[in-house]
Amino acid sequence: MPIHDDRAEARTPPETRRGPKGSRSALANLPDAQLVGLGAEGDVQALEILYRRHAAFAINLATRIEGSPRDVEDIVHDAFLRAFERLRDLTDRAAFKGWLGSIVVHAVRSRMRRGKLLNLLGLGRASEPVDLDAIASPEASPHVRAQLAQIYALLRTLPTDERIAWTLRCIEGHELEAVANLTSCSLATVKRRITRAQRFLDEHFVDPTGKDEPVSKEVDQ
């Protein structure tokens, strides 16, 4: 399924303001593990480079789960701040990107659950339409865009955990183990969530062409 993968622009967190002058170009060539080590010691330039290096990944991840860019920049901004506050807790510094992804997923999950609660109380905002320009590639055919619109509309009716697990697996294309890590749950739990979501989509999805094609690949057993 074609997915838009252009690098998104993102603002720099205010907490990563410029520190003492150093060799920015030298820092920019360092791997994540070394930047994390420097950032944990308070090097604001290292934090800024980490942010710029992974901001597009975080924004795209949050947008594809949400189906809309609304609030995504705030979610990602908060996720980076949370990550920077906890850098000393990251034992495998080379795994910063995946660790950041799990923080982004948790932040999106919290926002979704809070939104559902507010809607139940009559205090929520109107649902944002699915932004196909943000999630589909420019080359996507009208047929694919129609499929995506219907899939995201159906996903919004699912429990939050099932929606996120299915999106990470079937839209983002992550392996099951990666989905488990991103959602901080067991592999068995991830499989159950994806299977339930897939069953729901299979029951309710109607292919615009009438070909009745499967929505996505099956969950590995």
For the chain, what are the domain ranges? 1-139, 141-221
The per-residue pLDDT string of the chain (221 residues; one tens digit each, 9 = 90 and over) reads 444 444 444 455 544 444 444 467 788 889 999 999 999 999 999 999 999 999 999 999 999 998 888 789 999 999 999 999 999 999 999 999 999 999 999 999 998 887 666 556 555 555 666 777 777 777 888 888 888 889 999 999 999 999 999 999 999 999 999 999 999 999 999 999 999 999 999 999 987 666 555 566 544 44
Amino acid (one-letter) located at 6: D
Q: Is CATH 3.20.10.10 the right assignment for the domain spanning 1-139?
A: no
pLDDT at 114: 77
pLDDT at 132: 78
Q: List, as own/partner pairs, every contact residues 43-48 make where C-beta atoms lie below 8 angstroms and the sequence separation is at least 24, other chains included.
A: 43/19, 44/15, 44/16, 44/17, 44/18, 44/19, 45/18, 45/19, 47/13, 47/15, 47/16, 47/84, 48/12, 48/16, 48/18
For the domain made up of 141-221, give the CATH fold. Answer: Arc Repressor Mutant, subunit A (1.10.10)
Residue 64: closest CA among 53, 74, 75, 72: 72
pLDDT at 18: 46
Question: In the numeric block, which tokens belong to residue 144?
Answer: 């694919």
pLDDT at 145: 87
What's the rounded Cα separation, in Å, for the pair 184 and 180?
A: 6
